[in-house]
Each structure stands twice: as structure tokens, then as C-alpha cells.
Amino acid sequence: MTTKQYFEHTATSIAVLERPELKKRIKNFKGRFKLDFTDDYLDSLTVDRLRHVLLAAMINARSHY
């Protein structure tokens, strides 16, 4: 999959996720770096911001393969 295709697929799949699933994926993120956010902090973010955090992490992790 090309970088553009990966981005489009990933962005589309994240766009439909709701808060509980976004939090779960952020807290259980498996990449070359660990995401270490508290529940209180994640609860303070909007759903759009949670999507942004997850998308950025996934794109960053992908760019190092």
C-alpha cells in the first residue's frame, strides 16, 4: 500500500470511531514509541482531538518501516 493509500485508509477508519474505541486504541497503541496518556487527560480532549492523536501516532509509526 502506498503512503497516500495508507493515509486515506487510516484516516477513514479513524473518522468513524467513537470516544471509547479511540481511547482504547490510544491506550493500547503498539508502535515504536509508547503513548502514555492518563484517562483524565484523554477525557478532557474532544473526539476530534483524540482522532488527531491516534492518526498522528499511526502515521508516525508507519513512516519508520
Q: What pLDDT does 65 receive?
A: 47
Examine residue 9 and state whether it is found in any structural domain, yes or no: no
Q: What pLDDT does 1 receive?
A: 66
Examine residue 58 and state whether it is found in any structural domain, yes or no: yes
Q: What pLDDT does 7 receive?
A: 85
Mean pLDDT, range 48-62, rounded to an integer? 93
Domain range for 22: 16-62
Examine residue 4 and state whether it is found in any structural domain, yes or no: no
Q: How far is CA 6 from CA 17, 19, 39, 44, in A?
A: 17, 22, 28, 29
Examine residue 1 and state whether it is found in any structural domain, yes or no: no
pLDDT digits (tens, 9 = 90+) for 25-43: 999 999 888 899 999 999 9
Q: Which amino acid is at 26?
A: I
Contact 46, 54 (CB under 8 A): no
